[in-house]
Amino acid sequence: MLGVLGGMGPAAGAWFAYRLALLTGVTSDQEHLPVLLVNDPRIPDRSEAALSGGTSPLPAMQERLRFLESSGCECAVIPCNTAHHWFSELQASVKIPLIHIVPAAIAGLRARGIGAGPIGLLGTRATVRSDLYRGELAAAGFTVLPYTQDDVERLCVRPIQAVKQNRVAEAAAALAEAIHTLKGRGAHAVILGCTELPVAFAALAAEDLDLPVVDSIDALAVSALGHFGLVVNRSAAAGSGEPAR
Amino acid sequence: MLGVLGGMGPAAGAWFAYRLALLTGVTSDQEHLPVLLVNDPRIPDRSEAALSGGTSPLPAMQERLRFLESSGCECAVIPCNTAHHWFSELQASVKIPLIHIVPAAIAGLRARGIGAGPIGLLGTRATVRSDLYRGELAAAGFTVLPYTQDDVERLCVRPIQAVKQNRVAEAAAALAEAIHTLKGRGAHAVILGCTELPVAFAALAAEDLDLPVVDSIDALAVSALGHFGLVVNRSAAAGSGEPAR
């Protein structure tokens, strides 16, 4: 059984479980991976804690991971990029392996045939300003396009806030604008490095996109399926790192 | 915390959790309802057991409901219409209240302004042939349009099977055909009485529909929000029983 520490936000945790089901190559219910999802919004805000020293979400996240472990999960994922700032402390709190979202996203770039070059990263303020993605992307031969303060607010924060407030159409329009801007600046691909963004991405028409987009939530689901030796349903693999759309 | 006994099928259980998040009227993560979802596909097939005496899914469902109860859930839902054939035995196995999906769907009809008359019911063979919906709909002043054997296979089974096999576009086309057929036979509304169908319904363009459709998964989410005193986000309420689309 796969444990999912969700609720950050609630739509993202549930969307991960939904995408995992669609991305699994099966012909009947019984072949799917059993999943236990704790979709708990009571976890303190991750961005606030990472940037300005608000209440730490770590104890609440560790407690729920231990619950997943004691309930029989053999492996766990956290469909929230910002939460990965505490990854080593989270992994230290349980014996079961946690799958890290950044290598999953890099595997997604490679599966789309993108091996190096400038990449656009969209995520929360904490994610795009920190070393969470930069270090691993640099080690893998990629560079992250630089942002001004205004870029962060306009390209990243706007679509994320709209998803969090359930304004999905507005989020999709803001995300389309961000992808076009990053393409104009030379990005070879865009990583959706916030688990709210796939909700907006799903509302975008395929024909609006002319740049490979790696959705970190789909990439994490593909990595989890690989961990359990399950086959990916290629027709459902959109921005997941699978070539078919 | 709301318990969700899912996995029947896995896409439906996760879709319920996703719709619940979008249907909640909030402005930040922390206002959402905490959810524990057991999305476990190892539960034996419900339709097979209900129709031809296959392995009963009851013990596996009862065990998972007791797990939800002992994990702190104050109320639980089962986003699977066919599983409601065992509702009284399931309710008897736990002390926490379970919300029944049929009254939730009837509340959805009423909220759409439909108080009586012929209704089209789409669901698994077990659901449409049984009294699960018929009795309660009759008591509430509705009648269910009759089906031939061929109708059941063409209108109901085809779109459901396509969702279970992750062929969503094909499922959407089959569902559109079913809704148009039922409208032609005089239905005042259609109930999506199988929790696979909303996955197909979400893939349908709004302009394809010219009949009120009550989605039992959204109706169940709206009932759960009501149980916890939470407000519905009307802009997300499509076939949920809320008038706005």
pLDDT in tens, A139-190: 999 999 999 999 999 999 999 999 877 788 899 999 999 999 999 999 999 9
Residue A239 pLDDT > 50:
no
Q: Residues of B numbered 184-223 whose beta carbons fall under 8 angstroms of chain A's beta carbons: which are they?
A: none
Give me the pLDDT at residue B207, please: 63
Nearest to A17 among B1, B39, B167 (CB): B39
Give me the pLDDT at residue A52, please: 79
Q: How far A52 CA sits from the closest chain B CA (Å)?
A: 18
Residue A245 pLDDT > 60:
no
- DSSP notation for B125-190: HHHHHSSTTHHHHHHTTEEEPP--HHHIIIIIIHHHHHHHTT-HHHHHHHHHHHHHHHHHTT-SEE
Q: Residue A120: beta bridge partners?
A: A190
| Substitution target from A19, A35, A160 for chain B, most B beta carbons within 10 A | A35
Task: Please state, rounded to an integer, the average pLDDT across all residues of chain B.
Answer: 89
Q: Residue A119: beta bridge partners?
A: A144, A189
Task: Please state, rounded to an integer, the average pLDDT across all residues of chain A.
Answer: 89
Residue A9 pLDDT > 90:
no
CA B180 remoteness from chain centre: 20
Percentage of chain A lying above the pLDDT 90 cut: 66
Looking at the complex, does the CB of residue B72 fall below 8 Å from at least one CB of chain A?
Answer: no
Q: Please, what are the averages of pLDDT over each run of 10 residues along chain B (245 residues)?
A: 93 92 82 94 83 88 98 97 94 98 95 94 90 92 94 94 84 94 96 87 76 93 95 68 31
| Substitution target from A15, A24, A39 for chain B, most B beta carbons within 10 A | A39
Percentage of chain B lying above the pLDDT 70 cut: 95
Residue in chain B nearest A70 by alpha carbon: B71
A11 band by pLDDT with thresholds 50, 70 and 90 = confident
Give me the pLDDT at residue A241, please: 35
Q: How far apart are CA A45 and CA B114, in angstroms?
A: 42
A243 band by pLDDT with thresholds 50, 70 and 90 = very low
- Given a contact cutoff of 8 angstroms between Cβ atoms, the answer to whether B5 and B76 are in contact is yes
Q: How far B170 CA sits from the closest chain A CA (Å)?
A: 12
Residue A119 pLDDT > 90:
yes
Q: How far apart are CA A219 and CA A210, in angstroms?
A: 19
- Terminal Cα-to-Cα distance of chain B (whole angstroms): 28
Interchain CB distance below 8 Å, B31 and A41: yes
- Given a contact cutoff of 8 angstroms between Cβ atoms, the answer to whether B16 and B195 are in contact is yes
- Given a contact cutoff of 8 angstroms between Cβ atoms, the answer to whether B241 and B218 are in contact is yes
Residue A244 pLDDT > 70:
no
Instruction: Please give the interface size between A and B, counted as residue pairs whose CB atoms are below 8 Å apart.
Output: 142
Looking at the complex, does the CB of residue B228 fall below 8 Å from at least one CB of chain A?
Answer: no
Interchain CB distance below 8 Å, A45 and B30: yes
| Substitution target from B166, B168, B233, B235 for chain A, most A beta carbons within 10 A | B166
Instruction: Look at residues A41, A21, A15 and name the one whose alpha carbon lies nearest to residue A224.
Output: A21
A47 band by pLDDT with thresholds 50, 70 and 90 = confident
Give me the pLDDT at residue B241, please: 35
- The residue written with tokens 């349903």 in the block is A233
Looking at the complex, does the CB of residue B39 fall below 8 Å from at least one CB of chain A?
Answer: yes
pLDDT tens digits along B73-129: 999 999 999 899 999 999 999 999 999 999 999 999 999 999 999 999 999 888 898
The sheet that has A35-39: what strands, in order across it?
Answer: A75-77, A2-6, A35-39, B35-39, B2-6, B75-77
A108 band by pLDDT with thresholds 50, 70 and 90 = very high
Q: How far B105 CA sits from the closest chain A CA (Å)?
A: 22
* B75 C-beta neighbours (distance < 10 Å), count: 17
Looking at the complex, does the CB of residue B170 fall below 8 Å from at least one CB of chain A?
Answer: no
Residues of chain B contacting residue A29, judged by C-beta atoms under 8 Å apart: 7-10, 41, 45, 164
Mean pLDDT of A68-73: 98
pLDDT tens digits along A203-230: 887 666 789 999 999 999 999 999 999 9
Interchain CB distance below 8 Å, B21 and A33: no
Residue A234 pLDDT > 70:
yes
Give me the pLDDT at residue B28, please: 74
Mean pLDDT of A98-127: 94
- Given a contact cutoff of 8 angstroms between Cβ atoms, the answer to whether B96 and B118 are in contact is no
| Substitution target from A43, A166, A232, A233 for chain B, most B beta carbons within 10 A | A166
ipTM rounded to 2 decimals? 0.89
- DSSP notation for A129-148: HSSTTHHHHHHTTEEEPP--
